Structure formats: C-alpha cells, structure tokens
Amino acid sequence: MIGAISANQADWPTPCEDWNVQDLLHHLVVQDLHKYTIMARGNNVDPLAATATVGADWSTRFSDGAVMLMRAWAAADLNAQVALPGGGEAPLRSRIGLQITEFTVHSWDLLKATGVPIILDPALADQSLAWAQRMLKPEYRGVERGIGPEVRVPVSSDSYTRLAGWFGRSPYFRSGPRVQSLR
C-alpha cells in the first residue's frame, strides 16, 4: 500500500486530525517501525529520542523497517518478561496487539486519505478492535493523546468502519487534495 502512494498525495489530509499523508507516513515509517523493533527486542523506547524525517523514499524505508521488525519478532522469546514503561512486567507477547492495531488503523487511514485501491483484511480489523476495546481506557482519549472520542457507527457496519469509529475517526472521511479557500 505505501508503495502505491505518490509524492503528489503527501499534503493530502488524513482521518488523523492535524496530519497529512506525509505526517502519517513519517509516523509509520520513521517512528513506529523503529519504536516497535526496539520493543520487539524486549526494550523500552525513549519517547524523547530524536527521529529522522521520512523523505521521499518512504516505500523502501517502510519495506526495510518492516523486515527488521519481522526479524526481531521471529527471534523473540514471546514469554520473556519485559519491563513496562509505567512499572511492573508483562510477557513480551503483550506488545504484539498494540503493534498490529497501530498498523491496522493507520492502513485504513492511508486507504481513506489516498484512495489506494487495496483490500484490507477484515480479520485484522476484528482482532484490532477486540484488542482496543480491552485496552483503550477513556483516560487514553483526548486531542493531546491522538485518539479522539468514539464516533458511533451502526452495529451492522463492516469491521474497518467499527474500528475507525472506535479510534475517533469519521468513517465518512473522503480522500483527495486539500481544497484551498479563495478568500
């Protein structure tokens, strides 16, 4: 999907409020892949650590980063106890749900923002929604946290619409370039 996003779409808005496509790609390619590889190795991430910029070759950087992340998980002892950022310990496997959910939600965001013709796996949305409903407490929501209030959608909605609503996205978001005001 990321390889199908063109440079002329970089400034298009996304369902992630205040982020355009370039910002979201930076978040995924530079921040998430790096952070999640560190986490898969059983370490905690320094939230203040500087990150590079995504640049124009986001597809190659994402592919390379994804390979590193998959290798880290393949070598991981999923039952190893790891320190939690707020204190305590949990098995390494507890970090998997967060990562799957993050990439699943942002795949939907990119699909909606760019209109890339790809079919997303509904099983990933179902799994991500189940994880989020267990883990995403009300105090984790808010503009400063990046997850808005839940957007109610019909119960009969497809998996990704329900997931998007749970994460505060408008399921009715339309893709395309920003329309400039003539004022």
Q: What is the CATH number for 49?
A: 1.20.120.450
Contact 126, 104 (CB under 8 A): no
Q: How many domains does the chain have?
A: 1
- Grade residue 181 by pLDDT with cuts at 50, 70 and 90: very low
CA distance 134 to 128: 10
Indicate whether 176 belongs to any domain.
Answer: no
Residue 36 lies in a domain: yes
The yes-or-no verdict on residue 182 having pLDDT over 60 is no
Q: Percent of the chain beyond pLDDT 90?
A: 60
pLDDT of residue 42 exceeding 70: yes
The full 3-state SS of the chain, as one line of letters, equals CHHHCCHHHCCCECCCCCCEHHHHHHHHHHHHHHHHHHHHCCCCCCCCCCCCCCCCCHHHHHHHHHHHHHHHHHHCCCCCEEECCCCCEEEHHHHHHHHHHHHHHHHHHHHHHHCCCCCCCHHHHHHHHHHHHHHCCHHHCEHHHCECCCCCCCCCCCHHHHHHHHCCCCCCCCCCCCCCCCC
- Please name which of 24, 30, 28 lies closest in space to residue 112, comparing C-alpha atoms: 24
Structural domain of residue 54, as residue ranges?
2-166
Q: Can you give the pTM of this predicted structure?
A: 0.88
What tens digit of pLDDT does each residue of 100-123 get? Answer: 999 999 999 999 999 988 899 999
Residue 118 resides in a domain: yes
Pairwise pLDDT comparison (49 vs 2), residue with the higher score:
2
- On whether residue 14 sits in a domain, the answer given is yes
Give Cα separations from 116 to 3, 64, 112 (angstroms): 10, 21, 8
Domain annotation covers residue 177: no
Q: Is residue 179 part of a domain?
A: no
183 pLDDT band (50/70/90 cuts)? very low
Nearest partner of 111 among 54, 53, 163, judged by Cα: 163
Residue partners of 140: CB distance under 8 A and separation at least 6: 147
Percent of the chain with pLDDT strictly greater than 70: 95
Question: What is the per-residue pLDDT for 88?
Answer: 87
pLDDT bin (cut points 50, 70, 90) of residue 86 is confident
Per-residue pLDDT at 110: 95
Predicted confidence (pLDDT) at residue 144 exceeds the cutoff of 90: no
Residue closest to 108 by CA, chosen among 134, 135, 133, 129:
129
Residue 153 exposure: Cα atoms within 13 Å on the Cβ side: 20
Q: What is the mean pLDDT of the chain?
A: 88
For residue 50, is pLDDT > 70? Answer: no
Does residue 178 fall inside a structural domain?
Answer: no
Report, as an integer, the average pLDDT of 41-70.
85
